[in-house]
Amino acid sequence: MIRIVNRLAALLAFALLVPLSAQAQEPRFDITVTADATKANGSPWDGVPRLGNSKLNLNAAPDIAVCLVRANAKPECLWKPQGRRLLSQCQNAWTCKFDNVALAPLPIGLVFIDIDARNHDIIDVAVLTDRTDAKANDEIADSLRTAMSVLTPHRSEDTKERLVRSAKLLPLADCADGKPCRLTQSQFALTRR
């Protein structure tokens, strides 16, 4: 009887350790995002658009956050909730680093946003992939559409669809090891942990 209990305890311990070791093998990266000095149309990220990127616009730098979009899941955004407000880990900064982020399973969507009080600005959208599986990439595109509805509810459907269609499809290896990947209004790099 003691022998059976010992075996069951060993099997239970092994079963509990397997998911932990599998999770430890999950690729983790630091994501460094650098936004352009202005939006593509020349207006500042924060402040009054007509004042441009002048000294009168005290908070012209964006409040960068990144949202991870997995197939058929809600977006997981890396920001700091403070009461009813959302804050960036790097308030009013052109560059922000997000440490130790799990980027599995691939493909995964990345939505870089400028956190605003009422309606976030989309900085850029990208899809990291390790293959050209059209079905998996389509599922991420569908999940990106849902994420856009959650993150930017006041934007037009045409704008959201344009953002999803213009999302760059990038092999993970192209942006890893600190090599910057250029997007429309920003660039990002991944550094393996």
Question: What residue spans define the domains of the chain?
Answer: 36-41+59-192
- Strand, helix or coil at 51? helix
Q: What angle do CA 132, 146, 48 make, to 5 degrees?
A: 110
Task: Look at strands 168-171 and 121-129 and give their pairing.
Answer: parallel
- 130 contact partners, CB below 8 Å, separation of at least 6: 106, 107, 171, 172, 173
Give CA–CA dist 183/35, Å, rounded.
10
> What predicted TM-score, i.e. pTM, was given to this entire model?
0.79
- Say if residue 43's pLDDT is above 90: no
Output the pLDDT for position 8.
36
Structure tokens at 162: 């344009």
- Per residue in 106-145, pLDDT (tens digit) is 899 999 999 987 778 899 999 998 876 778 878 888 899 8
Q: CB 146: neighbour CB atoms within 10 A?
A: 16
- 51 contact partners, CB below 8 Å, separation of at least 6: 44, 57
- 7, 23 in Cβ contact below 8 A? no
- Say if residue 98's pLDDT is above 90: yes
Output the pLDDT for position 107.
92
